[in-house]
Structure 1
Amino acid sequence: MDLKKNIQKGRLPKHVAIIMDGNGRWAKKQGLARTFGHEKGTKSVREAVEGCANLGIENLTLYAFSTENWNRPKLEIRTLMRLLVSSLKKEIKTLQDNNIKLCTIGNLSTLPVKVHKELSEVMEKTKLNDRMTLTVALSYGSREELINTVKEISVKVKNNVISPEKIDESIINEHLYTRNLPDVDLLIRTSGEQRISNFLLWQIAYAELYFTNTLWPDFNKEDLYQAIIEYQKRERRFGKTSEQIS
């Protein structure tokens, strides 16, 4: 089935975010160790990136590793970091060929030196690409992001750089990790779980939420297209009435 033909090109989300969930459960269903699920999931990352780029979606953000994920077994963490480095090396040509810029958000200081180095190199090589921005959330937690934002603004208020009366949404946006990104229009979560899991809490204030039972390693372009078709069926009112936006 080719769902792509049913997508209205004039009503695409400008920013899609995905909580990539279900790698471990996928592996368990196959009778394999959890790490095999993460390895299989790298193919789904490519499907999502290529699918968004081909449609003309400008921003894609992937939740790759949360601040809470550091509590997982050490072997799993090492595997995830190894996969991240190897994937970056493999996909640099794909990013360049498709004119995609790589960015990251999160507490990158907690990442292993090798991972940080590889990320920096790929971001430097792709910084001028402008077809799509691919943002990978690594060691990311939205509450931590908001705490850091409050601290930064507080210091500026204390030093008379910002007046408390001037603090509004735009000021807060300027101090978030995502300061260069628009708000999320569509948030997708795989694996059947229906939680936000501390992901982009400020940025999804008016996002459409889409939950699918598909486990992340089975997610492909058709699953992405289905999510976007569902998004296009919804009426986005932003507090207004249906009559006001018609």
Structure 2
Amino acid sequence: MGLFESNLPKHIAVIMDGNGRWATARGKSRSEGHREGANAIDRLMDASLELGLKNISLYAFSTENWKRPITEIRSIFGLLIEFIETRLDTIHERGIRIHHSGSRKKLTRGVLDKIDFAIDKTKKNKNLTVNFCLNYGSRDELLRAAQELFLERKRSKVSFEKPVKEKELEKFLYTSTLPPVDLLIRT
């Protein structure tokens, strides 16, 4: 049990922004900046476990990031695969559960296989949930959730004139199994 656990947020989200600019300002490649961002995840997980935080979301790659140069995109996803391959055993041993939020469309089979493997391996862990938001966009998520709700209502023959309740839509969100974010940090 962490210090001041009753006062801690239940879910912290971090928008991982500025790694490339940070590196460029220091005369390094954007890829080196992204690598440093990946290393920061280790420090964040350590601090979260030490404090007793239960949920963190890492907005690591948005739907807008597909506009970046292909070499940068490959570098980011290469880092993700490396991160999983080199850290997954330790993550699992520490009781950390991996979760993914975001569209699976556009993600390569190799990336999806690594994510799915990490999710499956850590699915029973309870110390901390780390939600990797990859190919995530809030508008995309809401559109997808609305489409799923529409299909559910159509299947169950619920009137489309019936007002939508928050809980009804919420179950189709990527984070439906996580508490709402109560602290958002943009780096």
Residue 122 of structure 1, CA deviation: 1.1
Match of 1:74 among 64, 70, 75: 70
**In structure 2, C-alpha distance between the alignment counterparts of 1:163 and 1:129, rounded to whole Å:** 40
**In structure 2, C-alpha distance between the alignment counterparts of 1:162 and 1:57, rounded to whole Å:** 39
Match of 2:139 among 137, 143, 147: 143
1:173 counterpart = 2:166: no
RMSD (CA atoms): 1.6
Q: Highest CA radius of gyration, 1 or 2?
A: 1
**In structure 2, C-alpha distance between the alignment counterparts of 1:158 and 1:120, rounded to whole Å:** 30
SS in 2 for 1:110: coil
Contact 1:153 1:162 (8 Å CA) reproduced: no
**In structure 2, C-alpha distance between the alignment counterparts of 1:154 and 1:138, rounded to whole Å:** 25
1:21 counterpart = 2:17: yes
More displaced stretch, 67-76 vs 30-39 = 30-39
**In structure 2, C-alpha distance between the alignment counterparts of 1:151 and 1:11, rounded to whole Å:** 37
**In structure 2, C-alpha distance between the alignment counterparts of 1:160 and 1:9, rounded to whole Å:** 42
For structure 2, the residue ranges without an aligned partner over 5 or more in a row are: none
1:30 counterpart = 2:26: yes
Q: String of CA shifts for 1:88-141, please: whole Å, max 9, x gaps.
A: 011112211210100101011311111111111111111110111110000001
Give the TM-score taking structure 1 as reference length. Answer: 0.72
More displaced stretch, 34-43 vs 62-71 = 34-43
Calculate percent identity across the aligned residue pairs: 38
Match of 2:42 among 38, 43, 46: 46
**In structure 1, C-alpha distance between the alignment counterparts of 2:117 and 2:105, rounded to whole Å:** 16
1:185 counterpart = 2:151: no
**In structure 2, C-alpha distance between the alignment counterparts of 1:161 and 1:98, rounded to whole Å:** 46
Contact 2:5 2:53 (8 Å CA) reproduced: no
Give the TM-score taking structure 2 as reference length. Answer: 0.93
SS in 2 for 1:108: coil
Residue 11 of structure 1, CA deviation: 0.3
Match of 2:53 among 46, 53, 57: 57
